[in-house]
């Protein structure tokens, strides 16, 4: 299983990311991290490794530069700039399409917390390239009017104890329409820290991507 670091040239200085491509990869999943997180998020890394075991390549990229991240630590202004994060994620989708090792693979997006909104906006902007989306404890409601333009099959995973976020996901599911499915993970809070709950997320995400990234979807 090949793993390596990349610098994606979507901004001055580039965005740093970690790529793992398992032998015989059938798809590639790009991760959009939540507010205040990074590509080193232990939860996203754990999910990525389980996706690798399902023959899915993974790309974990920091959507902010180190300078922006340092500023955001103080102001928290950029972590909620869904337009900026989605624009960068869409640019990474374009980069993947041109990459020799990844370009042949269908693309999925995995978003956590506010990263889920960025993933959905990017999916709406790249309907011909994004084949599936999974949201973990996400804020898809922050994608706003882009929800109605999403064509990729979308799985919304929310912890059963994360009551406010369940309501927000129900509202987003209604706007997404028939492309979306909402599933509740019993006994899980927002960060899925309870034993076994993150494994359930990885299992359901892997099955979702494994199914939908093997099939063509309408643009």
Each of the 219 residues of the chain gets a pLDDT tens digit; together they read 768 999 999 888 899 999 999 999 999 999 998 655 678 788 889 999 999 999 999 999 989 888 888 887 888 777 789 999 999 999 999 999 999 999 999 999 999 989 999 999 999 999 999 999 999 999 999 999 999 999 999 999 999 999 999 999 999 999 999 999 999 999 999 989 999 999 999 999 999 999 999 744 444
The pLDDT of residue 43: 85
- pTM tops 0.85: yes
Provide the pLDDT for residue 217. Answer: 44
DSSP string, 138-171: --GGGGGGGGGG--S-EEEEEETT-HHHHHHHHH
Residue 36 is predicted with a pLDDT of 57
pLDDT given for residue 171 in this prediction: 97
Residue 35 confidence (pLDDT): 58
DSSP class of residue 15? E
CA-closest candidate to residue 145, choices 170, 124, 128, 119: 124
pLDDT score recorded for residue 218: 44
Per the DSSP assignment, residues forming a β-bridge with 133 are 109, 154
| Best CA proximity match to 102, nearest among 44, 22, 218 | 22
3-state secondary structure 68-103: HHHHHHHHCCCCCCHHHHHHHHHHHHHHHHHCCCCC
Burial of 7 (0-12, 13-18, 19+ CB in 10 A): exposed
pLDDT for the residue numbered 150: 98
Please give the pLDDT value at position 219. Answer: 42
């Amino acid at each position: 299983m090949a793993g390596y670091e990349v610098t994606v040239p979507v901004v001055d200085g580039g965005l740093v990311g970690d790529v793992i491509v398992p032998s015989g990869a059938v798809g590639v999943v790009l991760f959009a991290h939540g507010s205040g997180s990074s590509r080193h998020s232990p939860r996203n890394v754990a999910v990525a490794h389980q996706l690798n075991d399902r023959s899915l390549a993974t790309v974990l990229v920091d959507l902010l530069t180190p300078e922006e991240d340092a500023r955001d630590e103080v102001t928290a202004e950029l972590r909620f700039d869904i337009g900026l994060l989605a624009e960068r994620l869409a640019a990474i989708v374009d980069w993947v399409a041109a990459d020799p090792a990844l370009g042949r693979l269908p693309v999925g997006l995995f978003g956590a917390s506010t990263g889920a909104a960025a993933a959905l906006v990017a999916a709406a902007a790249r309907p011909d390239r994004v084949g599936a989306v999974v949201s973990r404890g996400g804020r898809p409601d922050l994608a706003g009017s882009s929800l109605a333009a999403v064509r990729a099959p979308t799985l919304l995973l929310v912890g059963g104890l994360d009551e406010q976020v369940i309501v927000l996901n129900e509202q987003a599911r209604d706007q997404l329409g028939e492309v979306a499915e909402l599933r509740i993970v019993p006994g899980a809070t927002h960060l899925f820290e309870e034993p076994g709950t993150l494994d359930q997320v990885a299992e359901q995400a892997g099955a979702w991507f494994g199914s939908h990234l093997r099939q063509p979807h309408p643009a």
